[in-house]
């Protein structure tokens, strides 16, 4: 079962290309910080604007650099079922440990369409797969009943839940098998979702503070509720600051302020406003990320 602090890692760019050195350095930074897994090519990794070649290369680098130290959960979702199958097959062939598949976006499938999409990918690719529900991004909300039915497919092993609905998270935990993992997809709700029975989080904040996210999840999973709650409350401000503009703009800007990446995005993402950048810097100073 996947658990603990899993980082939804950014994709650094330099001069319009993937900055492989900065990316490898970032992978090692978060592993030293204690993360339990890495998700390349998710929303935070700007997957929607990566070319197919870049997407595959980023996953290749991740698997190579991680070198089995922690699980690699490759983002391989698409609004095209055929493309999702192709990306997931590549992830399996290159040695990823699992795949994360966002609900198809823009085309707004029905619940039956969602079920058939995920069933088709699972049938075509024998690799553990995690559903990803984030209706604020995709325009479609996967129903609890759909998740429960999909959980009965052997290689669908969990869900990243970013709907913000704690009742839904609780229902999924209640109605699925004990080995089906529910992972938080929203940093502000990492602790509440674990309180509902979640096993961990796929975190944006873990790019910047991997040690504190790891400590929170480890405390919870070891039964130290008081420490987990304290860490959750301590992280509230930075969790909020890293979503002051569209993700991953703030987290990438934070990493640039920390000297870990170049502040470069693929359009239509663009640099933060100066006012928000100033607010972000103030929060980063309070957390000791920058001087």
* Active-site residue list: 132, 160
How far apart are the C-alpha atoms of 185 and 42, rounded to whole Å? 11
Question: DSSP string covering 156-168, please?
Answer: EEEEEE-S--HHH
C-beta neighbour count of 117 within 10 angstroms: 23
Q: Is 261 helix (H, G, I), strand (E, B) or coil?
A: coil
How far apart are the C-alpha atoms of 146 and 162, rounded to whole Å? 16
Residues linked to residue 5 through DSSP beta bridges, in sequence order: 201
Q: Is 14 helix (H, G, I), strand (E, B) or coil?
A: strand
- Give the 3-state secondary structure of 221-245: HCCCHHHHHHHHHHCHHHHHHCCCC
φ, ψ of residue 247 to 5 degrees: the values are -65, 135
Q: Is 182 helix (H, G, I), strand (E, B) or coil?
A: strand
- Report strand pairing: 13-14 vs 17-18: antiparallel
């Amino acid at each position: 079962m996947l658990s603990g602090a899993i980082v939804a890692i950014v994709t650094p760019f330099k001069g319009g290309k993937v900055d492989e050195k900065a990316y490898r350095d970032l992978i090692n930074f978060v592993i030293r910080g204690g993360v339990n897994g890495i998700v390349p090519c998710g929303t935070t990794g700007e997957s929607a604007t990566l070319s197919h070649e870049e997407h595959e290369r980023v996953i290749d680098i991740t698997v190579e650099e991680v070198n089995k130290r922690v699980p690699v959960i490759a983002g391989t979702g698409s609004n095209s079922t055929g493309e999702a199958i192709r990306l997931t097959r590549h992830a399996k062939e290159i040695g990823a440990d699992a795949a994360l598949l966002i609900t198809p976006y823009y085309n707004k499938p029905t619940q039956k369409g969602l079920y058939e999409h995920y069933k088709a990918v699972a049938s075509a690719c024998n690799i553990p797969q995690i559903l990803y529900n984030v209706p604020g991004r995709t325009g479609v909300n996967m129903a609890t009943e759909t998740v429960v039915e999909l959980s009965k497919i052997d290689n669908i092993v969990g869900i990243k839940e970013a709907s913000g609905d704690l009742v839904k998270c609780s229902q999924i935990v209640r109605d699925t098998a004990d080995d089906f993992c529910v992972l938080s997809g929203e940093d502000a709700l990492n602790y509440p979702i674990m309180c509902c029975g979640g096993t961990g989080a796929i975190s944006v904040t873990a790019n910047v503070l991997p040690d504190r996210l790891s400590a929170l999840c480890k405390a919870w999973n070891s039964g130290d509720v008081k420490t987990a709650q304290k860490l959750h409350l301590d992280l509230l401000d930075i969790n909020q600051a890293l979503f002051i503009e569209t993700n991953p703009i703030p987290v990438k800007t934070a990493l640039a302020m920390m000297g870990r990446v170049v502040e470069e995005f693929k359009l239509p993402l663009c640099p933060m406003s100066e006012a928000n950048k100033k607010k972000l810097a103030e929060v980063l100073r309070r957390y000791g990320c920058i001087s």
